[in-house]
Structure 1
Amino acid sequence: MLENIKKRDGRIVKFNDDRITRAIFLAASEVAKEENVKPSYEMSEELTQRVIKILNSKFRDEVPGVEDIQDVVVKVLIEGGHARTSEKYITYRNERSRIRNSRTRLMKSISDITFKDASSANIKRENANI
Protein backbone atom coordinates (compact mmCIF):
# COMPACT_ATOMS: atom_id res chain seq x y z
CA MET A 1 0.00 0.00 0.00
CA LEU A 2 1.35 3.39 -1.03
CA GLU A 3 1.95 5.49 2.08
CA ASN A 4 4.67 8.02 1.20
CA ILE A 5 6.04 9.91 -1.78
CA LYS A 6 9.33 11.64 -2.43
CA LYS A 7 9.05 15.34 -3.20
CA ARG A 8 11.34 17.01 -5.73
CA ASP A 9 13.51 18.40 -2.93
CA GLY A 10 14.05 14.90 -1.52
CA ARG A 11 11.63 15.12 1.41
CA ILE A 12 9.47 12.08 2.11
CA VAL A 13 5.85 13.05 2.80
CA LYS A 14 2.58 11.23 3.36
CA PHE A 15 0.80 10.21 0.16
CA ASN A 16 -2.44 12.11 -0.48
CA ASP A 17 -4.63 10.70 -3.26
CA ASP A 18 -6.83 13.81 -3.20
CA ARG A 19 -4.03 15.73 -4.87
CA ILE A 20 -4.11 13.35 -7.84
CA THR A 21 -7.90 13.52 -8.05
CA ARG A 22 -7.82 17.32 -7.90
CA ALA A 23 -5.15 17.55 -10.64
CA ILE A 24 -7.10 15.22 -12.93
CA PHE A 25 -10.33 17.10 -12.23
CA LEU A 26 -8.74 20.48 -13.00
CA ALA A 27 -7.43 19.19 -16.33
CA ALA A 28 -10.82 17.61 -17.10
CA SER A 29 -12.54 20.88 -16.18
CA GLU A 30 -10.49 22.72 -18.80
CA VAL A 31 -11.56 20.21 -21.46
CA ALA A 32 -15.16 20.29 -20.27
CA LYS A 33 -15.21 24.10 -20.45
CA GLU A 34 -14.07 23.93 -24.10
CA GLU A 35 -16.74 21.33 -24.89
CA ASN A 36 -19.51 23.02 -22.86
CA VAL A 37 -20.09 19.96 -20.68
CA LYS A 38 -19.91 19.36 -16.96
CA PRO A 39 -16.74 17.66 -15.64
CA SER A 40 -17.16 14.56 -13.49
CA TYR A 41 -15.41 14.50 -10.14
CA GLU A 42 -16.44 10.85 -9.78
CA MET A 43 -14.56 9.98 -12.99
CA SER A 44 -11.49 11.76 -11.59
CA GLU A 45 -11.76 9.61 -8.45
CA GLU A 46 -12.05 6.43 -10.55
CA LEU A 47 -8.98 7.40 -12.57
CA THR A 48 -7.11 8.13 -9.33
CA GLN A 49 -7.90 4.63 -8.10
CA ARG A 50 -6.42 3.21 -11.31
CA VAL A 51 -3.29 5.32 -10.77
CA ILE A 52 -2.98 4.07 -7.18
CA LYS A 53 -3.38 0.46 -8.31
CA ILE A 54 -0.50 0.84 -10.80
CA LEU A 55 1.66 2.67 -8.26
CA ASN A 56 1.08 -0.05 -5.66
CA SER A 57 2.20 -2.76 -8.07
CA LYS A 58 5.09 -0.79 -9.57
CA PHE A 59 6.54 0.63 -6.33
CA ARG A 60 6.18 -2.21 -3.83
CA ASP A 61 9.58 -1.77 -2.19
CA GLU A 62 10.39 1.84 -2.96
CA VAL A 63 8.94 5.30 -2.53
CA PRO A 64 7.76 6.87 -5.80
CA GLY A 65 8.71 10.42 -6.67
CA VAL A 66 6.32 13.14 -7.79
CA GLU A 67 7.47 12.71 -11.39
CA ASP A 68 6.82 8.95 -11.22
CA ILE A 69 3.28 9.58 -10.08
CA GLN A 70 2.68 12.18 -12.77
CA ASP A 71 3.94 9.77 -15.42
CA VAL A 72 1.45 7.13 -14.25
CA VAL A 73 -1.37 9.70 -14.28
CA VAL A 74 -0.61 10.53 -17.93
CA LYS A 75 -0.50 6.83 -18.80
CA VAL A 76 -3.86 6.16 -17.13
CA LEU A 77 -5.47 9.16 -18.80
CA ILE A 78 -4.29 8.15 -22.26
CA GLU A 79 -5.14 4.47 -21.83
CA GLY A 80 -8.55 5.41 -20.43
CA GLY A 81 -9.45 7.40 -23.54
CA HIS A 82 -8.92 10.82 -21.97
CA ALA A 83 -6.32 12.12 -24.39
CA ARG A 84 -7.48 15.75 -24.29
CA THR A 85 -7.46 15.72 -20.49
CA SER A 86 -3.99 14.23 -20.67
CA GLU A 87 -2.88 17.10 -22.94
CA LYS A 88 -4.15 19.68 -20.44
CA TYR A 89 -2.49 17.80 -17.58
CA ILE A 90 0.85 17.65 -19.43
CA THR A 91 0.63 21.34 -20.39
CA TYR A 92 0.01 22.35 -16.79
CA ARG A 93 2.81 20.05 -15.60
CA ASN A 94 5.27 21.58 -18.08
CA GLU A 95 4.26 25.13 -17.15
CA ARG A 96 4.78 24.41 -13.44
CA SER A 97 8.18 22.89 -14.22
CA ARG A 98 9.16 26.00 -16.21
CA ILE A 99 8.10 28.26 -13.34
CA ARG A 100 9.98 26.11 -10.82
CA ASN A 101 13.16 26.28 -12.92
CA SER A 102 12.86 30.06 -13.28
CA ARG A 103 12.51 30.46 -9.54
CA THR A 104 15.54 28.26 -8.97
CA ARG A 105 17.67 30.38 -11.32
CA LEU A 106 16.41 33.57 -9.71
CA MET A 107 17.18 32.30 -6.21
CA LYS A 108 20.68 31.27 -7.30
CA SER A 109 21.33 34.75 -8.72
CA ILE A 110 20.04 36.40 -5.56
CA SER A 111 22.24 34.12 -3.47
CA ASP A 112 25.29 34.98 -5.62
CA ILE A 113 24.65 38.70 -5.28
CA THR A 114 23.93 38.55 -1.57
CA PHE A 115 26.29 35.99 -0.12
CA LYS A 116 29.27 35.47 -2.43
CA ASP A 117 32.44 37.49 -2.23
CA ALA A 118 32.83 39.96 -5.11
CA SER A 119 35.97 38.22 -6.33
CA SER A 120 34.11 34.92 -6.84
CA ALA A 121 30.76 36.24 -8.10
CA ASN A 122 30.86 37.10 -11.80
CA ILE A 123 27.58 38.97 -11.57
CA LYS A 124 29.08 41.49 -9.16
CA ARG A 125 32.13 42.04 -11.35
CA GLU A 126 30.02 42.46 -14.45
CA ASN A 127 28.09 45.28 -12.83
CA ALA A 128 31.15 47.01 -11.38
CA ASN A 129 33.02 49.86 -12.95
CA ILE A 130 36.30 48.06 -13.50
Structure 2
Amino acid sequence: MAYQPVLVTIDASEAINTRPAGGRPWYLPMRVEFASGLRFELRPGRNQVFVPPGRYRVQLWSQFTLGKVGKATLDIDTTRGPVWFHYATPHSIYSAGAAGFHPQDRPGSTVLLMVSAGAVLITVLAVVMAVVLTQ
Protein backbone atom coordinates (compact mmCIF):
# COMPACT_ATOMS: atom_id res chain seq x y z
CA MET A 1 0.00 0.00 0.00
CA ALA A 2 1.50 3.31 -1.09
CA TYR A 3 1.21 6.29 1.17
CA GLN A 4 0.63 9.89 0.20
CA PRO A 5 3.42 12.08 1.65
CA VAL A 6 2.27 14.86 3.98
CA LEU A 7 3.61 18.40 3.85
CA VAL A 8 5.24 19.66 7.06
CA THR A 9 6.15 23.34 7.20
CA ILE A 10 8.73 24.47 9.77
CA ASP A 11 9.38 28.13 10.46
CA ALA A 12 12.92 28.31 11.87
CA SER A 13 14.43 31.33 13.57
CA GLU A 14 17.87 32.60 12.71
CA ALA A 15 20.68 30.15 13.41
CA ILE A 16 22.97 30.28 16.44
CA ASN A 17 25.89 32.60 15.67
CA THR A 18 29.24 31.53 17.08
CA ARG A 19 31.63 34.31 16.22
CA PRO A 20 35.29 33.63 16.98
CA ALA A 21 37.12 36.62 18.44
CA GLY A 22 37.64 39.07 15.60
CA GLY A 23 36.39 36.55 13.04
CA ARG A 24 33.46 36.32 10.69
CA PRO A 25 30.15 35.00 12.01
CA TRP A 26 29.77 31.24 11.83
CA TYR A 27 26.21 29.94 11.95
CA LEU A 28 25.49 26.47 13.27
CA PRO A 29 23.46 24.23 10.92
CA MET A 30 19.92 23.46 12.14
CA ARG A 31 18.49 19.96 11.80
CA VAL A 32 15.15 18.20 12.31
CA GLU A 33 14.56 14.48 12.75
CA PHE A 34 11.11 12.87 12.51
CA ALA A 35 12.26 9.26 12.83
CA SER A 36 15.44 7.29 12.39
CA GLY A 37 16.63 8.00 8.86
CA LEU A 38 14.08 10.78 8.31
CA ARG A 39 16.30 13.81 8.94
CA PHE A 40 16.46 17.19 7.18
CA GLU A 41 18.63 20.28 7.37
CA LEU A 42 16.78 23.54 8.07
CA ARG A 43 17.51 27.07 6.94
CA PRO A 44 16.33 30.23 8.69
CA GLY A 45 12.79 31.05 7.54
CA ARG A 46 10.19 28.72 6.07
CA ASN A 47 11.18 25.10 5.38
CA GLN A 48 8.90 22.56 3.72
CA VAL A 49 9.48 18.80 3.89
CA PHE A 50 7.37 15.76 3.04
CA VAL A 51 7.01 12.87 5.49
CA PRO A 52 4.87 9.72 5.57
CA PRO A 53 1.60 10.01 7.50
CA GLY A 54 2.00 9.15 11.16
CA ARG A 55 2.70 10.39 14.66
CA TYR A 56 6.16 11.72 15.32
CA ARG A 57 8.19 13.04 18.22
CA VAL A 58 10.08 15.66 16.23
CA GLN A 59 13.58 16.49 17.49
CA LEU A 60 15.17 19.78 16.47
CA TRP A 61 18.69 21.01 17.21
CA SER A 62 21.71 22.92 15.96
CA GLN A 63 24.83 20.92 15.21
CA PHE A 64 27.92 22.07 17.12
CA THR A 65 31.38 20.51 16.93
CA LEU A 66 30.91 18.68 20.21
CA GLY A 67 27.30 17.61 19.72
CA LYS A 68 23.72 18.82 19.54
CA VAL A 69 22.83 22.20 21.09
CA GLY A 70 19.59 24.17 21.25
CA LYS A 71 17.56 20.95 21.42
CA ALA A 72 13.77 21.06 21.31
CA THR A 73 11.12 18.35 20.96
CA LEU A 74 7.54 18.51 19.66
CA ASP A 75 4.91 15.79 19.14
CA ILE A 76 3.04 16.07 15.83
CA ASP A 77 0.37 14.04 14.01
CA THR A 78 0.43 14.04 10.20
CA THR A 79 -2.36 11.48 9.77
CA ARG A 80 -4.93 14.27 9.29
CA GLY A 81 -3.00 16.38 6.82
CA PRO A 82 -0.36 19.09 6.67
CA VAL A 83 1.30 20.36 9.86
CA TRP A 84 2.93 23.72 10.50
CA PHE A 85 5.15 24.47 13.49
CA HIS A 86 7.89 26.82 14.66
CA TYR A 87 11.43 26.28 15.97
CA ALA A 88 13.45 28.97 17.73
CA THR A 89 17.15 28.44 18.32
CA PRO A 90 18.54 29.85 21.56
CA HIS A 91 20.76 32.93 21.63
CA SER A 92 23.71 30.82 22.79
CA ILE A 93 24.83 27.20 22.83
CA TYR A 94 24.16 27.03 26.59
CA SER A 95 20.34 27.06 26.36
CA ALA A 96 17.65 24.78 24.96
CA GLY A 97 15.68 25.70 21.86
CA ALA A 98 11.89 26.12 21.70
CA ALA A 99 9.33 24.45 19.42
CA GLY A 100 5.58 24.88 19.21
CA PHE A 101 2.57 25.43 16.99
CA HIS A 102 2.73 29.21 17.49
CA PRO A 103 5.73 31.52 16.95
CA GLN A 104 8.35 30.98 19.66
CA ASP A 105 10.66 33.49 21.31
CA ARG A 106 14.36 32.66 21.15
CA PRO A 107 15.37 31.41 24.62
CA GLY A 108 18.67 32.09 26.32
CA SER A 109 18.84 35.87 26.28
CA THR A 110 19.44 35.86 30.05
CA VAL A 111 22.36 33.44 29.70
CA LEU A 112 23.82 35.53 26.88
CA LEU A 113 23.48 38.68 28.98
CA MET A 114 25.15 36.99 31.96
CA VAL A 115 28.08 35.74 29.85
CA SER A 116 28.54 39.20 28.31
CA ALA A 117 28.32 40.92 31.70
CA GLY A 118 30.82 38.44 33.14
CA ALA A 119 33.30 39.20 30.36
CA VAL A 120 32.98 42.95 30.98
CA LEU A 121 33.28 42.47 34.75
CA ILE A 122 36.45 40.37 34.41
CA THR A 123 37.99 43.03 32.15
CA VAL A 124 37.13 45.83 34.59
CA LEU A 125 38.50 43.83 37.54
CA ALA A 126 41.74 43.13 35.65
CA VAL A 127 42.22 46.85 34.93
CA VAL A 128 41.48 47.79 38.56
CA MET A 129 43.90 45.13 39.83
CA ALA A 130 46.60 46.34 37.44
CA VAL A 131 46.16 49.95 38.62
CA VAL A 132 46.18 48.95 42.31
CA LEU A 133 49.23 46.68 41.96
CA THR A 134 51.29 49.24 40.02
CA GLN A 135 51.03 51.89 42.76
| Same fold, TM-score > 0.5, yes or no | no
Tell me which protein shows more strand as a share of its residues.
2
Tell me which protein shows more helix as a share of its residues.
1
TM-score by length of 2: 0.31
TM-score by length of 1: 0.32
